[in-house]
């Protein structure tokens, strides 16, 4: 069927990020002038195109954006369009058609869903979908009131699917183009992960990190920009950093951050776990290091993340073991051997920056450092927002209060807290669950609310 080529009106806008609490709702905030030019009102659907085409419902800009030519998208939408923050995307008016059939699959490895297609149908009812997109069950999102019409907000606050946000890939959708699920759509859920075809990995984006706004900005400049625009740096004669050292206590999000930068830069991600690599037999550790460096170089643009670098590169003066000395030497050789044009950044994490070999911190090696601290109250609030995304919360839950009373908690503690609270909630309804059956019936799951008491119970554990 040949589409009639009508030159649609297009508007170009620069991509910026959506507030984390609005992430996953399938909305794009665009200037009123752009809405007028495309003949759109709030709640209408636009096609957003960069490397890929995706779609969203348009919503009025944040007050502080008034007059700016920006479009605010969440991390999944940025990946779906193939555009990072700062890139330009083209917007055009779009028609959505009711889907006859939509097939979803989990967007994460190791996530098996025995979900009911019904619940999925309700979660995504009316949402614009394009085959290949990664989408999130928005759950009981509490979108801020703002100036959004109540019906629109209600539609975006889709019912919860599970106790936590679930990311899914739209494996296929019929008919082609932008579709939405209605009463008649057949919805299928495949049990296992499907590699997205041309989209980027979306397991983690900047939206999944709380309290690290400044750190993300620093890393964007240091790592994301050189990875995405190597020509620019070459032309300016600036050597992008080879190595960046992240230091901070365990559980503050260093690994997650490195993954997010890789995903948002559309780069491959390689991980070396310090203690793990040390365990190998004579000569094996160096060989593994060489192999991973080689792979990462071949797959460039890439990010190679070395977790707990202090365990493989302790101060040479202080180590007695020959193995450690050889590995430090190997790592130095590999860092120095990277061609200037190789589009590879090595990010290393440590909790003890003073414990690593000084030679590693010389120019051309790990010569940039970023400190990641324990989050403050505002940071904890952001992290809570992220980990309760898609969680059906009781009306008595006060996330501000929880953020206030969790002094000293790092991100990993906050994640554990929300997980525990959800388990508390499930325990409460346990009597209603037929354990023989092994699964929780959707109607029961949908009735579950994680309450203030569940959080307090989790805090006591
Ligand atoms: P690190 O590498 O610093 O030890 P990780 O990145 O492995 O920490 O974090 C472990 C888990 O804790 C993450 O998967 C995430 O669930 C949670 N977490 C840690 N920091 C944050 C953060 N800043 N925002 C949101 N979640 C976080």
What was the pLDDT predicted at 444? Answer: 65
Residue 173 has pLDDT above 90, yes or no: yes
Any residues with CB less than 8 A from the CB of 139 and at least 6 apart, and which? 123, 158, 159, 160, 161, 162, 164, 165, 389, 390, 391, 392
Confidence band of 233 (pLDDT split at 50, 70, 90): confident
What was the pLDDT predicted at 142? Answer: 46
Q: Among 70-79, 111-120, 136-145, which stretch is predicted with the lowest mean pLDDT?
A: 136-145
Distance of CA 58 from the midpoint of ligand 1 (Å) = 32
Confidence band of 67 (pLDDT split at 50, 70, 90): confident
Average pLDDT over residues 286-313: 93
Distance of CA 93 from the midpoint of ligand 1 (Å) = 39
Between 101 and 149, the more confident residue is: 101
Residue with CA closest to ligand 1 atom 25:
209
Q: Which atom of ligand 1 is nearest to the CA of 412?
A: 12
What mean pLDDT, rounded, does the chain reach? 85
Residue 141 has pLDDT above 60, yes or no: no
Distance of CA 408 from the midpoint of ligand 1 (Å) = 14
β 344-350/302-307 pair status: parallel
Strand-pair partners of 16: 72
Q: Count of alpha carbons within 13 Å of 240, Cβ hemisphere only?
A: 28
- Report the candidate in 446, 420, 422 with the shortest Cα–Cα distance to residue 432: 446
Residue with CA closest to ligand 1 atom 12:
412
Distance of CA 281 from the midpoint of ligand 1 (Å) = 31
For 252-286, write each residue's pLDDT tens digit.
999 999 999 999 998 999 999 988 888 767 788 89
* % of the chain with per-residue pLDDT over 70: 85
Distance of CA 224 from the midpoint of ligand 1 (Å) = 20
Confidence band of 430 (pLDDT split at 50, 70, 90): low
Q: Which atom of ligand 1 is nearest to the CA of 208?
A: 25
* Residues 72, 73, 74, 80, Cα dihedral to 10°: -170
What was the pLDDT predicted at 45? Answer: 94
In 389-405, which positions are buried (b, 16+ CB within 10 angstroms) versus exposed (e)? bbbbbeeebebeebbee
Q: Which residues line ligand 1 (CB under 6 A)?
A: 209-212, 250-256, 349, 383, 386, 411-412, 415
Residue with CA closest to ligand 1 atom 11:
412
For 72-85, write each residue's pLDDT tens digit.
999 999 999 999 88
With H, G, I as helix, E, B as strand and everything else as coil, classify residue 89.
strand
Residue 160 has pLDDT above 50, yes or no: no
Residue with CA closest to ligand 1 atom 7:
255
pTM here is 0.80
For 338-370, write each residue's pLDDT tens digit.
988 889 999 999 998 888 888 899 998 999 999
ipTM summary value: 0.99
Residue 210 has pLDDT above 60, yes or no: yes
């Amino acid at each position: 069927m040949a589409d009639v080529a009508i030159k649609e009106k297009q508007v170009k806008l620069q991509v910026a990020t959506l507030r984390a609490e609005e992430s996953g709702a399938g909305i794009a905030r665009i200037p009123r002038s752009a809405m007028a030019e495309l003949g759109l009102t709030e709640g209408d659907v636009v096609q957003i195109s960069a490397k890929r085409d995706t779609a969203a419902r348009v919503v009025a800009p944040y007050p502080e954006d008034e007059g700016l030519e920006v479009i605010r998208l969440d991390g999944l939408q940025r990946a779906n369009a193939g555009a990072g923050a700062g890139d330009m995307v083209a917007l055009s008016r779009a028609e959505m058609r009711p889907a006859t059939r939509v097939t979803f699959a989990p967007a994460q490895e190791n996530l098996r869903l025995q979900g009911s297609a019904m619940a999925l149908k309700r979660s995504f009812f009316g949402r614009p979908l394009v085959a290949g997109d990664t989408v999130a069950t928005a759950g009981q999102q509490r979108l801020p009131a703002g100036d959004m019409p109540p019906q629109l907000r209600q539609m975006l606050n889709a019912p919860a699917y599970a106790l936590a946000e679930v990311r899914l890939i739209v494996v296929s959708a019929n008919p082609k183009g932008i579709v939405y699920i209605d009463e008649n759509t057949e919805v299928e859920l495949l049990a296992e992960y499907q590699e997205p075809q041309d989209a980027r990995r979306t397991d983690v984006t900047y939206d999944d990190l709380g309290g690290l706004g400044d750190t993300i900005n620093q890393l964007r400049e240091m790592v994301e920009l050189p990875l995405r625009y190597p020509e620019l740096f070459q032309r300016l004669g600036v050597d992008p950093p080879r190595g960046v050292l992240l230091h901070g206590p365990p559980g503050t999000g260093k690994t997650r951050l490195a993954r997010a930068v890789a995903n948002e830069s559309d780069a491959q991600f390689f991980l070396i776990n310090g203690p793990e690599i040390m365990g190998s037999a004579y000569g094996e550790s160096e060989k593994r290091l060489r192999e991973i460096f080689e792979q990462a170089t071949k797959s460039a643009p890439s990010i190679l993340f070395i977790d707990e670098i202090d365990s493989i590169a302790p101060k040479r003066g202080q180590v007695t073991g020959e193995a450690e000395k050889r590995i430090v030497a190997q790592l130095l050789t590999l860092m120095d051997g990277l061609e200037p044009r190789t589009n590879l950044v090595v990010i290393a994490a440590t909790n003890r920056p003073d414990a690593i070999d000084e030679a590693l911190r010389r120019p051309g090696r790990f010569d940039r450092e970023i400190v990641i601290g324990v989050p403050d109250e505002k940071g904890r609030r952001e992290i809570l927002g992220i980990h309760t995304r898609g969680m059906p919360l009781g009306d008595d839950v006060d996330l501000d209060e929880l953020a206030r009373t969790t002094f000293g908690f790092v991100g990993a503690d906050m994640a554990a807290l929300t997980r525990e609270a959800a388990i508390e909630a499930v325990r409460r309804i346990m009597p209603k669950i037929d354990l023989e059956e092994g699964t929780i019936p959707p109607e029961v799951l949908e009735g579950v609310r994680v309450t203030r008491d569940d959080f307090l119970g989790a805090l006591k554990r």
